[in-house]
Amino acid sequence: MITFRPNSDRILVQRLSVEGLIRLTDAEKSGKGVVLSTGPGKWLENENGDWWRRPVGVKPGDIIRFTGRWDDADGLALSAMLGIPDVALITEGDVWWKESEVSN
C-alpha cells in the first residue's frame, strides 16, 4: 500500500454502507464515510493581503456525512491504486457534518 496525502482542502474518505438513510441529494452520490487522510488546508487571503492556511475541519477517523460529486471511475482508480475499497477524494465543502469525532 502507498502513502497518500491529499492537497489543499481535499479529504480522502472511505464510504460506509448506510441502511435507512434519508438522502438529501442523489442517492448514488451521497453517503457516510470515515476520513482516512486530509490535506493541510485551504490558502486564504485576509484583508491586508497576507495569506494564511485554514486547516481542514475533520481529521482521520472522523465519521462524516457528505455529498459526493466525484466520478465513480476516478474512485475505482483511486481504490485500485491505494488497495482500499470504496474510497473517494472530496473537498471540505462536500462535508455536511461530522457524525462522530475521534478523541485526542
Across 85-101, average pLDDT: 88
Q: How many helices (H) and strands (E) does the chain have?
A: 1, 7
Q: Provide the 10 A C-beta neighbour count for residue 12.
A: 22
Strands (E), 17-72: 30-38, 42-45, 51-54, 63-67
The domain that contains 47 carries what CATH number?
Answer: 2.30.33
Indicate whether 5 belongs to any domain: no
Indicate whether 58 belongs to any domain: yes
Number of domains present in the structure of the chain: 1
Q: Taking the mean position of all CA atoms in its chain, how far away is CA 54?
A: 16
**Whether the predicted pLDDT of 35 surpasses 60:** yes
Global pTM?
Answer: 0.77
88 vs 77, more confident = 88
For the segment 42-76, what is each residue's pLDDT rounded down to a tens digit? Answer: 999 999 999 999 999 999 999 999 986 655 556 67
Across 24-52, average pLDDT: 84
pLDDT averaged over the chain? 81
For the chain, the straight-line distance linking the first and the last C-alpha, in angstroms and rounded, comes to 26
